[in-house]
Structure 1
Amino acid sequence: MSTAEEDLARCSLDSARLRFRPDAVVRPQTDDALQQLLVLANELRVPITPRGAGSATTGAASPVKGGWVLDLSGWTKIRIDATAGMAHVEAGAVTKNINDAAERKGWFYPPDPSSLKHCTIGGNIATNAGGLRGAKYGVTRDYVYELEGFLPTGEPVRWGAPLKKFASGLNLRDLWIGSEGMLGVVTRATLKLIPKPAARWTCLAAFQNETQALRAVKKLLGLRVVPSILEFLDRQSVDCAQRRRGGPFFPKLPHCSLLLLELDGHPAAVRETKKVVQTLFTERALASRHTSDPEKAESLWEARRTCSQAMFQMGDTKLNEDIVVPVQSYEALIRYTLELKKQTGLATPTFGHVADGNFHVHLMYDHGDPDQCAQAERGLQLLMEKVVELGGAITGEHGIGLAKSPFMHLQHSKAEIAAMKRIKDALDPNGILNPGKMFEEFTMWRHERDYSWTFPWDHQRPGSVPLHR
């Protein structure tokens, strides 16, 4: 147990920058020690906030009630079963390290959250993390065979098994996935792996505007094209990225919307699908560039990797919302982001994983300007209301945590929320595990956000490390 100021400071916040000082940071090294910690916390009614890397973007890893932070970042073991196609991992294993270990044996772990170089599998499980490859490969839940860990009261449990079929009892494994560390502590997981794709093809295409780009997406999906990655960038995102790089991504097309597409799989399948994509882009795009060379593909990724950092030309702070809408609402959503820009006076650059409808709508503002802060708060409320009106979801991969707790009632009925609370109470009768999240409405505008702290994966402030993809 540590009460060192540096440890308390590091574990007082996540990427949402909502700082709450814990009383101590605890790093148990064994199952027995972790179990004893939970039993003691129940006896003393001490809040416990589980934590991996702290890359959550909603305040889910911030100890809002104080107490003890349970740091599992040291639980990093990874073992690949190359025969069964499974990865046996501890909760603190970094996501990229899991995939790297799998690839060395010819396998592949597809979920790829943007902080994959730093985030841990325990955090991915807690939020059911997704990523760019979600439309083709799914999200974290689709790759979990088994979870091991402890109930909030300290009893050891195992949900599922290291088997490809398991139909015994209620599926509490999936109940834990996405529960944001409120229903139990994950210590280990058995993950599904798939064969590593043998070929990859990347294409960047420019369109006159967002409508033309989104219509091309709908046509692609209608042609049964399932890309491993399909990223959309609106003109606001592209414009600021081009200013940052000092020129357009396509000569003579300084103001365009972009689609970045990647196909992977068997070489023959990639070749056939590539023909369909090229035919469509020849008909609908203003220009395109493509390659099968991994090194050359890096240059095509520049637009997507640059735009997040480049947005800080529009304001020193961003709200990055991971909303999801059905395919029939794509164009309506983008029209609304432009309307929101007019209503609030704030830039609303938008990019996202368009093959599965997961858009990242940003509200850019200067956090030292009270008027802009008020408009950002208003804009966020309006955006969430619109997303639900369009049949969408207020979060696709970040989760609720603190930042989105005010909008739970937009997404869920009173009966649904009450049922969730009853499950929480049943598994955590003393309410010690990650309390204050999801069900207790939190207004971040009334709490000072700490912008002095930076994380290795951070893309919320200028000067931080750019994210991979």
Structure 2
Amino acid sequence: MKSFAQATAALKRKLGPRVDVSEQGRWAASFDSSKISFLPDAVITPSKESEIGVVLALANKHRVPVTPRGRGTTLMGSAAPVQGGWVIDMLKLNKITIDADAGMAHVGAGATNANVARAAEAHGWFYPPDPSSREYCTIGGNIACNAGGMHGGKYGVTRDFVIALRGFLPTGEFVEWGTATKKFSAGYNLRDLWIGSEGMLGVVTGAVLKLVPQPAARWTLLTAFSDETAALGSARKLFRQRVQPAICEFLDRESVLCAERATGKTVFPGQEGRPVILLELAGTRGELEEIKPIVLAWARENSVAHKEATNRDEVEELWAVRRKCSGAMFELGDAKLNEDIVVPMKNYEEFARFIMQLKKKSKLPIPTFGHLADGNLHVNIMYHRVNRVETRAAEKAVQTLMETVVKLGGAISGEHGIGLAKTPFLRIQHSAAQVKAMVAVKKALDPLGILNPGKMFDVVRVWKYEKLKLHLPWDHK
């Protein structure tokens, strides 16, 4: 990998202690949740937004690759400095200010999702996007990959809550896209171009986020079904009745069995390993009183078992199965290809049948869970890395999965982005003309190609890399 020692020395003269060239500091910034390590030359931790402009201007002068980084919770390798160079650590830019009158949050890119939500709640507001790593992941990272979460079906994803952005172009020039107003129609909408661009078109330093009123009441119901096709078909029946749950989480049989073994508890006694749907309604008390009978009638007619929570402890007990399932899957294999695909609602049952066929053909466990309200399902292809037969089967399975999802009218990613891990599949989703247009935008805004290079368009097969053996704080236990 190319060394940028001269440029790094010049950077240290400008920013001094903000530049870390220690082996320990560089190693800590060399990987994200993909756990594939690429050692950078230096890590810069700015305490002022203007320092990012200094870094980028110097990087352009010396053509140094620059990778923006939040906490590193991304699973796709989006924050891994694959070409070395410099990493900008955004965590100190974490200020949060709530405009309680306007229902807006003014936040730094390094603020965590959960802290924004808590700050909003203290003023009676609600920030719905809630990735599973919300206690650790940053707003800048959420914007970079257009993160979603369990509330996405009713409330939307990060893009739906970004009112305005500010930051720096790859050239080091400061820009603001939009302002803290509810309407803005002055020029091209480059704000939305940055959202989901995975730090390749600019470095987000701050944002104005929309907040919504806190729901006055919530109600939780867990339902079990005879099989996956019945579960997904039943969900469609519920949505046809214009019921819009705040959360609608699905777990297939393998996910449930893993969670049951991890917790030592059976979700429904006598119905071990049944696929489940976990519903949460949120709204006014009047709305819930009107919708609850509809949902209970649906559960009685379609499920083989159901139970509702009557207090907070019971809610937590119902949620335990969802929280435990992902980490518990490693009893099925020591490696996982975690894919966050999206399927159109009309094809739910067809997708369920496809996954069953894929399990049989690959001879691999493929536990699947996710957000039924918006069709964003997490398909986990489990295998043992040292077993060459299983490794090849996993590679074939993920290729088949992506091809099938696109044929069904879906998307290869709903909230994780492309990064490194999904680069082999980008051209399944997009035509040559579409990719060419995206590359043209990248070249227009980043003519020297310094910002987060090696991502999205260059094909990388991450399963061929040796992964670091470590447990990150946000890994599911």
TM class by shorter chain equals over 0.9
TM score, norm. by length of structure 2: 0.95
Q: 3-state DSSP class of the match of 1:264? A: strand
Q: CA deviation at 1:79?
A: 0.3
Q: 3-state DSSP class of the match of 1:169? A: coil
| Shift in alpha-carbon separation, 1:311–1:446, aligned structure 2, 3 A | closer
CA distance in 1, matches of 2:401, 2:167: 37
What amino acid maps onto 1:402 in structure 2?
L
- 1:200–1:292 Cα contact (<8 Å) kept: no
Q: CA deviation at 1:300?
A: 0.6
Q: 3-state DSSP class of the match of 2:420? A: coil
- 2:150–2:247 Cα contact (<8 Å) kept: yes
Give CA deviations for 1:133-186 in whole Å, capped at 9, x if unaligned. 001000000001110100000110000110000000000000000000000000
Q: CA deviation at 1:103?
A: 0.3
Residue 456 of structure 1 corresponds to 473
CA distance in 1, matches of 2:471, 2:31: 10
Give 1:359-370 correspondences, 5 Å limit.
Answer: 359-370=377-388
Q: CA deviation at 1:236?
A: 1.2
Are positions 1:210 and 2:228 aligned together? yes
Residue 149 of structure 1 corresponds to 167
Question: What do you get for the CA RMSD once the two structures are aligned?
Answer: 1.0
CA distance in 1, matches of 2:473, 2:328: 18
Give 1:109-188 correspondences, 5 Å limit.
Answer: 109-188=127-206
Which of 341, 355, 376 in structure 2 is aligned with 1:358? 376
Q: 3-state DSSP class of the match of 1:301? A: helix
Residue 41 of structure 1 corresponds to 59
Q: CA deviation at 1:292?
A: 4.5
Residue 223 of structure 1 corresponds to 241
Are positions 1:311 and 2:329 aligned together? yes
- 1:87–1:191 Cα contact (<8 Å) kept: yes
Are positions 1:302 and 2:326 aligned together? no
- 1:55–1:119 Cα contact (<8 Å) kept: yes
- 1:94–1:120 Cα contact (<8 Å) kept: yes
Structure 2 gap segments, 5+ residues each: 1-18
% same residue: 54
Are positions 1:51 and 2:75 aligned together? no
Residue 462 of structure 1 corresponds to none
CA distance in 1, matches of 2:344, 2:115: 33
Are positions 1:424 and 2:434 aligned together? no
| Shift in alpha-carbon separation, 1:291–1:446, aligned structure 2, 3 A | closer
What amino acid maps onto 1:274 in structure 2?
K
Which of 197, 203, 218 in structure 2 is aligned with 1:200? 218
CA distance in 1, matches of 2:310, 2:411: 35
Which of 90, 98, 108 in structure 2 is aligned with 1:80? 98
Query: Once structures 1 and 2 are overlaid, which stretch shifts more, 398-407 or 9-18?
Result: 9-18
Structure 1 gap segments, 5+ residues each: 460-465
Q: CA deviation at 1:34?
A: 1.4
Query: Once structures 1 and 2 are overlaid, which stretch shifts more, 244-253 or 220-229?
Result: 244-253
What amino acid maps onto 1:454 in structure 2?
H
Q: 3-state DSSP class of the match of 2:67? A: strand
Residue 343 of structure 1 corresponds to 361
Q: CA deviation at 1:295?
A: 2.8
- 2:233–2:348 Cα contact (<8 Å) kept: no
- 2:49–2:93 Cα contact (<8 Å) kept: no
- 2:166–2:177 Cα contact (<8 Å) kept: yes
What amino acid maps onto 1:453 in structure 2?
L
Which of 276, 281, 285 in structure 1 is aligned with 2:303? 285
- 2:48–2:93 Cα contact (<8 Å) kept: no
Q: 3-state DSSP class of the match of 2:132? A: coil
Runs (4 or more) in structure 1 with deviation over 4 Å come to: none
Residue 438 of structure 1 corresponds to 456
Give CA deviations for 1:275-315 in whole Å, capped at 9, x if unaligned. 11001101111111112423320001111112112211111
TM score, norm. by length of structure 1: 0.96
